[in-house]
Structure formats: C-alpha cells, structure tokens
Structure 1
Amino acid sequence: MAAQQSQGIQTLLEAEKEAAKIVQQARQYRTQKLKDARSEAAKEIEDYKKAKEAEFKSFEASHAGTTSNAQVAVDKETEQKLQAITDTYEQHKGQVVKKLLDRVVLVKPELHRNLKKVGA
C-alpha cells in the first residue's frame, strides 16, 4: 500500500511539474504576444504618422501659392493706403501749419473765468 501511495504521490508531483511547465509556457506566450502587439502597434502608429505628414505636406504645397498671392494683395493694398495718406498730407499740410501758427502767435489775453475781481 505504501508503494501505491508513493506511486500516486509521484504521479501527482509529475502532474504538478507538467502543470507548472504549461503555466510557464502560457506566461511566455502571453509575454511574447504582448511584445508582438506593442511592436505592431508602434509600426501602425509610425505608418499613420507618415501618411498624415505626407497629407499635410500635400495640403501645404497646394495652398502655398494662395499664401504668396494673399501677401501680394496685402502689400498692394497697403501701398494704396499709404499713397492715399500721403496725398491727404500733402493737400492739408499748409492749412495745418497756418492754424498752428495762428494759435501760437495770435494770443488774445483775457482773465480766467474763475478769477475774482479785486475790490468787488
């Protein structure tokens, strides 16, 4: 009977060792699958990033001409406005100088309205 129990225990130990091997293999398999999934995800991310960068470059190239055209239009409009301001300045500078000189040279002395009359 001791031999039978010894053999049963031996069988259980072997089964336990085999189960431990299976668990270890499952862990290694899971770890490997996680590594594979991460590397595949990184590859997909890199591919997606490259595709989006290419799409952006294409968009940028197609709209770059629009930017330069807009800059030319803005420069032209600015030049027109500057010319209009310069023309207005040239037309009115004589009048402005005359008004300024009249204000400085032609002084009409008067008492301030808040000054009290002396002796009153």
Structure 2
Amino acid sequence: MASQQPQSIQTLLEAEKEASKVVQQARQYRVQKLKDARTQATKEIEEYRKAKEQEFKAFEASHAGSTQTAQTAIDRETEVKRKEITEQYLKSKDQVVKKLLDRVVLVKPELHRNLKKVES
C-alpha cells in the first residue's frame, strides 16, 4: 500500500497537469473564437456599409435629374412672375403717384366728425 500511494499521487499530479492543459486549450480556443467573431462582424459591417453607400449613391443619382428639372421649372416660373410684377409696376406707377400727390396737395379743410359746433 505504501508503494501505491506515491504512484497514485503521481497519477493525480499527471491528471491535474493534463486537466490544466485542457483548460488552457479551452481558453485559447475561446479567445480565438472571439477574435474570429470580431473579425467576421467587422467584415460584415463593412460590407453592409458599402452596400448602403452604393444604394444611397444610386438613389441620389436617380433623383438628381428630377431636382435639376424642378429647379429649372421654378426658375422659369419666377422669371415670368417677375416680368408680370414689373409690367404692373410700369403700368400703374403714374396713377399711384398722381393719387398720392392729390391726397397730399389737395387738402380740404373740414371739421372733424367728433367736433361739434358750439352755438353762441
């Protein structure tokens, strides 16, 4: 029995070393899997970003023509309205100036409606 104890202790020590190696390998495996997962996630994020960027550029390109067309239409409409306003101004300015001068120059003195005549 005495000779069996050192051998069983040796067996236990070897088993402990083996278990320690297995645990260390499992930790390394876990760390490697985490690194791989991060790398894969980064790659997927980059691919997704590129796809969305291309989608946005395509959307922007397809709507760029309509923006220019709308701007051209607005510019034309603005020019037409500006010409109409200028024509109205040129047509009406003499009459407006005459009315203003008549109001300022031709004063008719009258008593205010709230003022009553006092009879003496």
Cα deviation, 1:64-114, whole Å, max 9, x if unaligned, reads: 111111111010010011111111111211111111111211223344556
What is the number of equivalent residue pairs in this alignment? 120
Label 1:98 to 1:10 Cα distance change in 2 as closer, same or farther (>3 A).
same
TM-score by length of 1: 0.86
Q: Does 1:78 align with 2:99?
A: no
Counterpart AA for 2:90: E
Of residues 108-117 and 82-91 in structure 1, the stretch that sits farther from structure 2 once superposed is 108-117
Matching residue of 1:93: 93
The amino acid across from 1:108 in the alignment is K
Give the SS at the match of 1:17. helix
Equivalent position SS for 2:34: helix
Instruction: Evaluate the alpha carbon distance shift between residue 3 and residue 81 of structure 1 in structure 2; reply closer, same or farther with a 3 A threshold.
Output: same
* Structure 2: runs of 5+ lacking an equivalent: none
- Partner in structure 2 of residue 15 of structure 1: 15
Identity %: 74
Structure 1, unpaired ranges of 5+: none
* SS class of match (1:107): coil
2: CA distance, partners of 1:31 / 1:9 = 33
* Deviates further, 107-116 or 24-33: 107-116
TM normalised by structure 2 equals 0.86
Aligned-pair distance for 1:39? 0.5
Aligned to 2:67: 67
- Match of 1:2, SS state, is coil
Letter matched to residue 28 of structure 2: Q
The Cα RMSD (Å) is 2.1
